[in-house]
Structure 1
Amino acid sequence: MGQAAVYLRISQDRTGLQAGIQRQQEDCAAHAAKLGFTDPQVFIDNDVSAFDGGRRNGYDALVAQVRAAVRHIVVWHVDRLYR
């Protein structure tokens, strides 16, 4: 089936508590398990906007893993990848 990864991103975390990231992680973990992925790698960009041109270290690490071994990416919503 190939390796899987979960990518989580919230553009604004005003409280710093990562509540949005936690919600995404719970939903994505459940979906990944339903698809048969038991231990996907998790990549996180918390409080990082895709619009402002800042570095998305989690995304960059995800891309490197896609080039190496990851064949499936689970995201809460597709706009987490590009928006």
Structure 2
Amino acid sequence: MTTSTDAPEPSSVTYEQAQAELGRVIQRLESRLGLEEALDLWERGEELVEMCTQFLDGARARVDARTSSPAPAKDDAPF
């Protein structure tokens, strides 16, 4: 079983989907598996961790961009 070929493209996966699949991979890795299947799952898990990390890094960058903007001065307020 090669899980990498069955997996959707990273660009079409949401953070929640990647996280859920990672949970399933972990559950499978905790069961009795053959070496090849375990290695395939481990590799897929690594891919999913990287995807989740990229999603979280992007979210952090968006939050940082919003929170690091200087607040408008009172004179610049629209009211």
Q: TM-score, normalised on structure 2?
A: 0.29
Larger radius of gyration: 2
Q: Which protein has the bigger helix share?
A: 2
Q: Which structure's relative contact order is higher, taking Cα pairs within 8 Å and 6+ residues apart?
A: 1
